[in-house]
């Protein structure tokens, strides 16, 4: 009985790993959206998926926007000019910034699972106009001041 249980658990873990996807996000100086961008600026992924932030131009990183992060989820801060791979295991809305270029609009959103978007909160300093204009792939996600946390 115990062996059967271990076999089932082991198979489940292997299967979940096989189905996890890896996405790539480019950190760029300029694209069709303007200067200082992530490409894409929005991802909808599933729990267990990973995102690799690619260094395609110097001077960028990927880091947690702490006030736009699910409670209890692991945070991170990549080094400038280095690629980083992060796994997103908890459902929710994740805000990502380039530390030196956040004020210029270098931010992105990763939606993990099917989180209710009406609960999104964001810091006052988040460049909402730039972020919302880059969300053309997900028009139902529009972050507004009324959703901001105090």
Among 4-8, 73-77, 100-104, the least confident range: 4-8
CA atoms within 13 A on the CB side of 58: 0
What is the mean pLDDT of the segment spanning 98-126?
80
**Sequence-separated (6 or more) residues with CB below 8 Å from residue 10:** none
Q: Give residue 49's pLDDT band: very low, low, confident or very high (50, 70, 90).
A: very high
pLDDT at 150: 29
Rounded to whole angstroms, how far apart are CA atoms 23 and 8?
A: 28
Residue 136: pLDDT above 50?
no
**For the stretch 29-40, what's the b/e string if a residue is b when 16 or more beta carbons lie within 10 angstroms of its beta carbon?**
eebebeebbbbb
Tokens 């894409």, located at residue = 40
Looking only at the bridges linking them, the beta strands covering 49-55 and 22-31 are parallel
Mean pLDDT of the chain: 78
Domains, the chain, ordered by start? 21-147 (2.60.40.420)
Rounded to whole angstroms, how far apart are CA atoms 128 and 111?
A: 16
pLDDT at 131: 57
Residue 83: pLDDT above 90?
yes
Whole-angstrom CA distances from 147 to 33, 35, 77, 120, 141 are 24, 26, 25, 6, 12
Q: Which residue has the higher pLDDT, 121 or 27?
A: 27
The closest alpha carbon to 88, from 67, 106, 115, belongs to: 115
Longest dimension (CA), the chain: 60
What is the mean pLDDT of the segment spanning 77-99?
95
pLDDT at 84: 96
**Percentage of residues in the chain having pLDDT higher than 70:** 64
Q: Which residue has the higher pLDDT, 74 or 120?
A: 74
pLDDT at 130: 52
pLDDT at 43: 93
pTM, full prediction = 0.73
Question: Facing residues of 53 across strands?
Answer: 25, 84
């Amino acid at each position: 009985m115990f062996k059967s249980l271990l076999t089932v658990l082991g198979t489940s873990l292997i299967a979940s790993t096989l189905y996890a996807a890896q996405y790539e996000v480019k950190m760029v100086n300029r694209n069709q959206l303007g200067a200082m961008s992530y490409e894409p600026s929005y991802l909808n992924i599933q729990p267990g998926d990973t995102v690799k932030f690619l260094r395609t131009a110097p001077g960028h990183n990927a880091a947690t926007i702490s006030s736009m992060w699910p409670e209890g989820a692991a945070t991170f801060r990549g080094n400038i000019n280095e690629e980083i791979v992060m796994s997103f295991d908890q459902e929710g809305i994740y805000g990502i910034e380039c530390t030196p270029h956040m004020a210029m609009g270098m931010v992105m959103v990763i939606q993990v699972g099917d989180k209710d978007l009406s609960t999104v909160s964001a810091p006052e300093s988040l460049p909402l106009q730039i972020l919302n204009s880059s969300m053309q792939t997900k028009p139902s996600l529009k972050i507004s001041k009324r959703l901001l946390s105090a």
